[in-house]
């Protein structure tokens, strides 16, 4: 008997579900069987059996689109039922005041543990791109049930990783969304702002950078605070309207929206690997030409800027200022797939979602210790040949995480009043063993004057002279200003992404 999570048609708006609290809180029936146990014992037995049946029915997740309040109830119940591996928290509220719920999963779900990388999935940034919401709920169910059933792969994942899942970054937009496959309302938040154009952008026009944090949208501010509070290493942002994995940069060095070549990060090889890891584990994304109205994508991946440029995107913000590598996953040709396709779409993505999480164990991790043996917070940890706009640095625990493909890399560690340390490390492939290589750096104090290198990287103003080693627009086409190209890029971006 399905009480709450029941099948229902998707007829332009997601309709309400029956109330369940009245059923759960109703007094038990008074039943007595002649010759049986006394009424009090029978009532208790019936109440126990009825409660067990109702709870199973209420929290059994089916394949349909769920309301925001239903997602909230599901996350609350899952957290209450599995406190040893889940922790539910809110990163803030939407414009209309709806909580932005995040469920953390792992063997230490409530707090960060040194050596355990932080991973996140963010879905429903555009309110009318809805598949990600349901995939996240089924991923939660898969991980919880896998842990309960002692499945080896799930146990290894939860013991080695702290996974954060935000099913809806734009619940207000979802409330307004219709079921149009491509065109439809609900993309923007309640203030009619595209959240994926509202983040600080290192490439953007100076006037965009003059927008203070408190002037940005509530949902964007919540994510920015979230990124300051957690040391995320890897992330994915789930969208709809195409079938492709799109990686940074989304914007280009020129700071203008132009069609043309790629805009590459210093970690382009890693981004390509991450994107292929998802596309090649997906049932069809790797084929690259599934959607009829979309261009073909080799291996089912693309550089974001090369596909179509955008300013103020969350993907670039994660990488530049939060030292978190994020890939944008376009997971369905239709923004609002018919509900009867949800079981197949979950099957198409399940393996990819799990394989992508394991990539948080690429490369090398460790702790930087100062001359007194204490963890060195905010030490710069740089890799030769990978000069980031904001240098990667240690967190409050002195930890660093660098996602790197197997190979030899030269690291340079810089910390005030300490000698600069340079070491070459051999980095193996870590995801198969659910752990990156571990290497701690131990520094020596010096009496020399500090180098003056920046130890923090606040949101800067636009600097056209910023040095992006291995980055920036790689094609002369990206330096051309074509009004027609700009208009077409803007239209394509609005329709697809």
Positions marked active-site? 330
Tell which residue, 288, 169, 300, 157, has the closest CA to residue 227.
169
**Residue 421, CB-side half-sphere exposure with 13 Å CA sphere:** 21
Q: Which two tokens stand for residue 186?
A: 């609900």
Radius of gyration of the chain from its Cα atoms, rounded to whole angstroms: 24
Integer CA distances (angstroms), 336 to 17, 131, 283, 479, in order: 20, 7, 19, 36
Q: Where are the beta strands (DSSP E) in 279-347?
A: 301-303, 325-332
Q: Which two tokens stand for residue 497?
A: 């992404």
**Residue 286, CB-side half-sphere exposure with 13 Å CA sphere:** 14
**Residue 60, CB-side half-sphere exposure with 13 Å CA sphere:** 12
Residue pointed to by tokens 């300051």: 228
Centroid of chain to Cα 70: 21
**What letter would DSSP give residue 291?**
S
3-state secondary structure of 357: helix
In angstroms, rounded to a whole number, what is the distance separating the alpha carbons of residues 356 and 188? 28
Tell which residue, 123, 121, 127, 125, has the closest CA to residue 143.
121
Containing 416, the helix (H) or strand (E) segment is: none
3-state secondary structure of 340: helix
Q: Which residues pair with 407 in a beta bridge?
A: 427
């Amino acid at each position: 008997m399905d009480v709450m999570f029941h099948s229902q048609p998707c007829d332009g708006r997601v309709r309400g579900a029956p109330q369940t609290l009245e059923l759960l809180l109703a007094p038990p029936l008074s039943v007595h069987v002649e010759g049986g146990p006394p009424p009090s014992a029978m009532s208790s037995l019936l109440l126990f059996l009825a409660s067990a049946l109702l709870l199973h029915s209420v929290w059994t997740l089916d394949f349909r689109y769920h309301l925001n309040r239903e997602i909230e109830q599901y996350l609350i119940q899952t957290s209450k039922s599995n406190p040893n591996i889940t922790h539910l928290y809110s990163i803030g509220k939407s414009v209309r005041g709806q909580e932005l719920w995040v469920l953390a999963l792992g063997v230490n779900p409530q707090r960060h543990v040194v050596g355990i990388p932080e991973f996140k999935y963010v879905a429903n940034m555009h309110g009318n791109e809805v598949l990600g919401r349901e995939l996240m709920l089924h991923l939660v169910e898969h991980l919880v049930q896998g842990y309960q059933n002692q499945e080896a792969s799930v146990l290894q994942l939860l013991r080695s990783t702290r996974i954060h899942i935000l099913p809806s970054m734009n619940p207000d937009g979802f409330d307004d969304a219709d079921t149009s496959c491509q065109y439809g309302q609900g993309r923007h938040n309640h203030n009619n702002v595209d959240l994926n154009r509202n983040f600080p952008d290192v490439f953007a026009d100076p006037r965009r950078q003059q927008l203070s944090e408190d002037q940005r949208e509530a949902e964007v501010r919540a994510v920015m605070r979230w990124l300051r509070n957690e040391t995320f290493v890897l992330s994915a942002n789930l969208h709809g309207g195409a079938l492709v994995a799109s990686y940074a940069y989304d914007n280009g060095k020129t700071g203008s929206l132009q069609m043309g070549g790629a805009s590459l990060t210093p970690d382009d090889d890693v981004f390509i690997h991450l994107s292929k890891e998802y596309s090649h584990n997906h049932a069809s994304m790797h084929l690259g030409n599934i959607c009829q109205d979309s261009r073909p994508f080799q291996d089912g991946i693309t550089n974001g800027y090369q596909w179509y440029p955008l300013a103020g995107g969350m993907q670039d913000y994660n990488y530049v200022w939060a030292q978190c590598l994020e890939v944008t996953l376009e997971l369905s040709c239709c923004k609002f797939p018919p509900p009867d396709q949800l079981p197949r779409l979950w099957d198409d993505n399940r393996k990819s979602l799990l394989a992508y999480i394991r990539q948080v164990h690429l490369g090398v991790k460790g702790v930087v210790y100062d001359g007194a043996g204490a963890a060195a917070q905010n030490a710069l940890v740089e890799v030769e040949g990978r000069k980031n706009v904001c240098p990667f640095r240690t967190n409050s625990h002195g930890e660093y995480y660098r996602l790197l493909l197997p190979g030899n890399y030269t690291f340079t560690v810089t910390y005030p009043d300490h000698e600069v340390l340079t070491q070459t490390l051999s980095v193996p492939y870590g995801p198969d063993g659910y752990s990156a290589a571990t290497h701690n750096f131990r520094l020596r104090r010096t009496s020399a004057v500090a180098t003056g290198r920046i130890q923090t990287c606040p949101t800067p103003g636009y600097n056209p002279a910023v040095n992006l080693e291995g980055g920036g627009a790689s094609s002369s086409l990206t330096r051309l200003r074509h009004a027609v190209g700009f208009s077409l890029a803007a239209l394509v971006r609005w329709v697809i992404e």
